[in-house]
Structure 1
């Protein structure tokens, strides 16, 4: 008979039922009731040993080892009593049913979590393929731009490609780190699932007193977000023009030499003789009637329209307190007051109150700019359906519409009505190099 100190704390398949056997009375062959310990260290039920000794004259003996005792003394073993009650409780039908239910629920939870992580791995791999594919497309675009500038721009091209490579590697590294974390989490869960399955399979042959030891579940952060537009914007930009700002004399061709279309000008807009300057005026201009003219809003279009290719132009806005500019579809309503938005055929950037810049979405999207641009560059890519705005002084991107217009569009401008007592400031179309235009 094992002592209380030697009684096992856990049930293992190799010693199944040994704990119950150690806690079984050798007289009644049942779990101890009020266990007492003799001087020989053997345990019996208090009632069993008392009954066993009843009627015995003289010395009594241990029922197991036959050791004789001159007096009938024993002591209650509270530790063994507590272990007996625990075994009795853990072998009840209700306890076993609850434990099996918990086992099933934990196993199912691990299976579901593993499935979530496997799906996350699949998404990460798809995302990595997208990053690689997009990176390859952008490299091809960058190379195409720089080929037009020949050997003199070779160093610029290599610099840009290196930057793209680093950014692509950074994006891939983010996803790779998450991928490895998810894989590790899956491995830990699979080890737990294996342990739970083994415990579940063994419940038929052993008394399960507690769940098996499980590995702590690895916490996995949310999958890193990949903004393909943000990743692409720098390389979908007018790269030749950006480089031309560094090497002006080598750029062929330069920006579009736009002119204002007077037939579209609202009567409150005065256009210069060379059609490169537009400014608000107090008196209404006596323009001839034309179905192209804006009648309700102080707007004007350029005379040049585009429906294919890539085009770039710059507009000098100076320190005007308010203005709108961008592109407009050919078929926009010019006789009604309409909100400027892509849904209405306008892709614009706007300024209000001297320092409140917004993208012309619906509703407007406020922009936080580091500085107030004195010149704004507009880049239109008809094939990619992109309309992007740049601070022309440093070619920093201000905003980009990635779901741009279809069909023919015209550069759009609004000098707005300032409502101040100061002399109105104009909007100017910039030409590089300056060209002489007859009026």
Structure 2
């Protein structure tokens, strides 16, 4: 996972000011990163405070994410290669979601040559084609739109160590049945879990 230039290096100063507040130096408090007194203290919207330099270094490593509570204060962009996301609906319902039908998502990730943002620039990688399933109810439709935003931010897939497209860290249901052990339904907590995974990646 990476992050846009607007939130790295010296550009963090402007982003932190926009998303949070600049607090005055307080000799009685310490930065939780360097454990020293604050130097040019920055406060995020989540109210956690850090030295400006410490926060900038954290952004370079983790992206625009609070080191303490994981609040996302900037735009995260992943290493996903180019591809296509489409979806359709079917009348048949998923186990645990009777009477609402199914949303079938298709991800068509064709192979190619890795770009500068990928782990091995200029090397070729192999693609994949995957289907995923959501209930066609109100919450399922909301999750679909969140997944579309995540796809547009290159967060659904990444390129693995063997130069192949693999899932990143947002779990999908790739089977209609079989339960969680088979990446399928029924799984009553799945929609809330995937919302949390999306939130960690700045999608909510």
Instruction: Provide the TM-score with structure 2 as the length reference.
Output: 0.30
Bigger strand share:
2
Higher relative contact order (CA 8 A, sep 6+): 2
Q: Report the structure, 1 or 2, having the larger helix content.
A: 1
| Higher-Rg member (1/2) | 1
